[in-house]
Amino acid sequence: MNIAIKCALIEAGIMKLEAEEPDIKELKTLMTSCEKLQQRTVKGSRILSNKGSHYLVESIYHSGLTKAQKEEIYTSEYEIGNPNPIKNLDIEDLYSYLEDEYGGSAEDLVKNIKRNVSELIGIPFETFLKADKSLAYKIITLFYRVCRQFSNQFFNFLNVDKQSKMQFEFRASFPYREAKGKGYENTALLAELLGHLTFSMPKEYLEQARLIEKNLPAIADLISTHTRDYVECINNAVGHYEDSGQMANLNKIVDSNLESAFHYIFESVDNQLTQRLDFLLYNLISLKEYIARKSSNELLAKLVCETPLKLQSFQDGKCKTWEDKHVIPYLLGYDKSVSETVDKQTDFIEKYILARKMNGTTALPAQNKQILKAVIIHDSAIGNIKIESFVFGGKNIPSSITAILKKGSTDLDKSKTNDTVFSFENYPESILLYWVMRYELALRVVMSKDKKKAIYLYQRIASWETRIDETLVNYVKNANLNTYNELLTLPKKLQVFLSNTIEPLS
């Protein structure tokens, strides 16, 4: 057994240190009991591997169980955890099993499950019944169990497209620990569903499914980086367009080149539909999670740009020294000393910025940190800036951008004193990202000769990043494995394509 899984089971009280194997009855309770949902997902250990990190339920199933143990834990062939195909495929027998095992009237709920899965995928459920009835029945059983044991509104929860507020907290990993516990519950349900969908996948599909959460944002970030570099390079290098008042024409050329580049890289693979229902569902639910959070980025970027930013550019003059006592008042345009409170708040946001980059950097450059301090002082003075972050069923979720600074800096200070692990799971991600985006915008403003141009470029790049997310999601929505394998080559292809368009514009 994997040592990490063994340690997690020991911590969960399922296994003793000296034991070679866990008690199968205890293990079955952990893997199947309603009461153990959060322990096997969000409150259990995440097991690291070269394929990413996974909750305990998925890690145990794929790395810690023999076929015989899987059969003992999931005794019925109707369960997706049972490795054997269903022998009896009569629909009435399926109804009987569901009603006996999970209660309720099966026929109506099964019809509802079929309809909702069809709407989610965009393909009639009958297609999957014809392709692999055994797999289709196992997935019906999985949804039936989730609906009966945990939430009869589960499909409303999955349909995040109908919500308009910030959706950063819609996630299957690292839940927001809000007071009512609803963030944990919803994240646990997503983790339960996605984890179980991998149980029936052949190895090649499983490996790809496990990479979606990691690869999709990474690919989007690389494509966004190349797009941003291209836009900035052209706008900064081609001065005669600006001098002659032809920037609008230049922007049209840039947009046209980007359109051509996207058409080229996103049309390069024959995107035939896979007929595996488990992988399609896993893929589409992962994409819903991804696009919900990216759509929130779009709303957040709009707020960041619309909130006035009255910082002075370093291009407009000189500071007496590069000490805080001179730089901060210069940036703000008025006398202001940096209090110990602001220093602590800056440390809190700096820690989050560095955590997002995950590049091993231990601190921001001194000048960057001064800009961050100025942003915190500037926006705190505006007051009443709120961000409504939506969690299904959640209440009293913090929305003030300044309140989170007070709480975060206090918590960080306590963790240093108590030598405890500090976690950003205690704060709504939407508000944390507000400060990251404001800092990034401020960097552009204070380093630019033209504040309006700096903000305009930020908005243009944010708009293209939204376009990238939408295009990428559509590209992989019903993707086969070849499409996902080709995904890793797209950023480089885009970079090469765009590099060939720069010279004619210069």
322 and 437 both lie in a single domain: yes
* SS3 category, 395: coil
347 and 434 both lie in a single domain: yes
- What average pLDDT does the structure give for the chain? 86
327 and 437 both lie in a single domain: yes
| Virtual torsion, Cα 496, 501, 454, 445, nearest 10 deg | 40
pLDDT for position 162 = 56
Token output for 57: 């339920």
Helix, strand, coil in percent for the chain, rounding step 5: 70, 0, 30
Rounded Cα distance between 310 and 313, Å, is 10
pLDDT for position 12 = 75
265 and 371 both lie in a single domain: no
User: Half-sphere exposure (CA, 13 Å, Cβ side) for 70?
Assistant: 21
- Asked whether residue 81 is assigned to any structural domain, the reply reads no
288 and 321 both lie in a single domain: no
- Asked whether residue 191 is assigned to any structural domain, the reply reads no
Owning domain of residue 339: 314-384+396-447
Write the pLDDT tens digit of every residue in 132-177.
Answer: 999 999 999 999 999 999 988 888 888 776 556 677 778 888 887 7
Long-range contacts of 377-386 (CB under 8 A, 24+ apart): 377/328, 377/332, 377/336, 377/338, 377/342, 378/309, 378/310, 378/311, 378/332, 379/307, 379/438, 380/405, 382/307, 382/308, 385/303, 385/307, 385/434
437 and 325 both lie in a single domain: yes
461 and 360 both lie in a single domain: no
Mean pLDDT (whole number) for 17-26:
81
CB atoms within 10 A of CB 498: 21
Rounded Cα distance between 477 and 136, Å, is 20
What's the structural domain count of the chain? 2
What band does 48 get if pLDDT is binned at 50, 70 and 90?
A: low
- Asked whether residue 134 is assigned to any structural domain, the reply reads no
- Asked whether residue 129 is assigned to any structural domain, the reply reads no
Domain boundary residue, one of 404, 429, 447? 447
pLDDT for position 240 = 56
- Asked whether residue 176 is assigned to any structural domain, the reply reads no
291 and 331 both lie in a single domain: no
- Asked whether residue 265 is assigned to any structural domain, the reply reads yes
Rounded Cα distance between 212 and 219, Å, is 10
* SS3 category, 180: coil
Mean pLDDT (whole number) for 179-185:
71
Of the listed ranges 87-96, 240-249, 407-416, the least confidently predicted one is 240-249
In Å, the largest CA–CA distance within the chain is 83
334 and 233 both lie in a single domain: no
Question: pLDDT > 90: what percent of the chain?
Answer: 47
pLDDT for position 428 = 86
Rounded Cα distance between 224 and 472, Å, is 11
Token output for 480: 């086969």
338 and 353 both lie in a single domain: yes
Query: Is 181's pLDDT higher than 80?
Result: no
- Asked whether residue 372 is assigned to any structural domain, the reply reads yes
329 and 430 both lie in a single domain: yes
Domain boundary residue, one of 447, 466, 485? 447
Choose among 208, 199, 173: nearest CA to 63.
Answer: 199
Q: Buried b / exposed e across 414-433, counting CB within 10 Å, b at 16+?
A: eeeeeeeebebeebbbbbbb
Rounded Cα distance between 422 and 432, Å, is 15
Rounded Cα distance between 335 and 337, Å, is 7
Token output for 233: 């390079």
Rounded Cα distance between 300 and 156, Å, is 24
Of the listed ranges 61-75, 94-108, 354-368, 410-424, the least confidently predicted one is 354-368
434 close to 304: Cβ distance less than 8 angstroms: yes
- Asked whether residue 264 is assigned to any structural domain, the reply reads yes
Write the pLDDT tens digit of every residue in 208-224.
Answer: 888 888 888 889 999 99
Residue with tokens 């989007």, as numbered in its chain: 220
464 and 430 both lie in a single domain: no
Q: Give me the amino acid identity at 269.
A: V
pLDDT for position 226 = 92
CB atoms within 10 A of CB 215: 16
